[in-house]
């Protein structure tokens, strides 16, 4: 049974979820709301130390037709930084439709829930592994 952390990367906030390969159930964990990249990675370092994940999953945004855009590139870079800084295997999951399943009220932060949807999608798509 391996612990997994998932990230819904954004320029202002990063949603984080946790789950494991045994139960295959994702749960919202935290929202990282630091002003600087170093602050964000410091907060992530604390989560990595606490949870000791075997895998990190990062949502990869795309246009509805599958085309990449600026945030796609930023998320790939973020995933590479996670792997490089923490030495944890990191995979990307297409998140095009993850936000559509989350009802959102004005001003509500759904970042951690979005990360949970991304992680659950990873578990569901990799059920045989």
**86 near 58, Cβ under 8 Å?**
no
Where helices occur in 52-128 by DSSP H, the ranges are 70-86, 111-125
**109 near 13, Cβ under 8 Å?**
yes
DSSP state of 21: T
Structural domain boundaries enclosing 55: 3-89+100-125
Q: What is the pLDDT along the chain (129 residues), one digit of tens a residue?
A: 899 999 999 999 999 999 999 999 999 999 999 999 999 999 999 999 999 999 999 999 988 888 888 999 999 999 999 999 999 999 999 987 665 566 565 555 788 999 999 999 999 999 765
Q: Establish if 95 belongs to a structural domain.
A: no
Give the total number of structural domains in the chain.
Answer: 1
**Phi/psi at 73 (nearest 5 deg)?**
-65, -45
CATH number (domain holding residue 78):
3.30.420.140
Q: Establish if 94 belongs to a structural domain.
A: no
Percent composition of the chain: helix, strand, coil (DSSP 3-state, to 5): 40, 25, 35
- The encoded tokens of residue 121 equal 């999608």
């Amino acid at each position: 049974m391996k612990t997994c952390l998932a990230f819904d990367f954004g320029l202002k906030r990063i949603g984080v979820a946790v789950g494991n390969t045994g139960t295959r159930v994702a749960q919202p964990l935290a929202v990282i709301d630091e002003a600087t990249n170093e602050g964000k990675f410091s907060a992530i370092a604390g989560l990595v130390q606490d949870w000791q994940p075997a895998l990190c999953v990062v949502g990869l945004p795309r246009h509805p037709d599958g085309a990449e855009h600026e945030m796609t590139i930023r998320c790939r870079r973020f995933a590479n930084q996670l792997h490089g800084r923490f030495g944890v295997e990191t995979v990307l999951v297409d998140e095009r439709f993850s936000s559509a399943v989350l009802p959102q009220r004005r001003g509500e932060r759904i970042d951690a829930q979005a990360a949970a949807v991304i992680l659950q999608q990873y578990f569901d798509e990799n059920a045989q592994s």
